[in-house]
């Protein structure tokens, strides 16, 4: 396969990827751009911790010991949105490339005016 035949599909895939990437970020900025607190449902109320017997409390590790310290959720939110946008864009681009491949493979043969199929 020569380099010239590869540039067409790669260029189409990159175009599809960039279009999906831009559309994803436009939707993210449009939906949550003003306040950044868009929820699909109302957030759950905070639950009050119950009183447990001392023996159970001493056996269980604290949640603060298990979780890493919180260091600014804005950066991790942006990183997770970036990863989500990259995966969404690549899925869209791969699906469109596969769809184009199927259209090309299963296309009906072209007919000539005299009735013979083109070879």
* Distance between CA atoms of residues 94 and 88, nearest Å: 10
Task: Give which of 3, 1, 23 is closest to 92, Cα–Cα.
Answer: 23
The overall pTM is greater than 0.85: no
What is the tens place of the pLDDT at every residue in 49-90?
A: 666 556 555 665 565 555 556 555 567 778 888 999 999 999
CB-facing half-sphere around the CA of 73: CA atoms within 13 A: 2
pLDDT digits 0-9 by tens, 5-19 = 668 888 999 999 999
pLDDT greater than 80 at residue 91 = yes
């Amino acid at each position: 396969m020569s380099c010239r035949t590869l540039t067409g599909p790669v260029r189409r895939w990159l175009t599809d990827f960039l279009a999906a990437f831009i559309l994803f970020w436009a939707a993210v900025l449009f939906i949550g751009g003003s306040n950044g607190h868009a929820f699909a449902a109302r957030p759950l109320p905070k639950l009050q911790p119950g009183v447990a017997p001392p023996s159970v409390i001493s056996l269980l590790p604290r949640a603060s010991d298990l979780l890493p310290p919180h260091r600014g959720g804005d950066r991790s939110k942006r990183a997770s949105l970036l990863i989500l946008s990259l995966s969404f864009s690549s899925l869209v681009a791969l699906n469109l490339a596969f769809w184009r491949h199927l259209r090309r493979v299963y296309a009906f043969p072209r007919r000539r005016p005299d009735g013979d199929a083109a070879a």
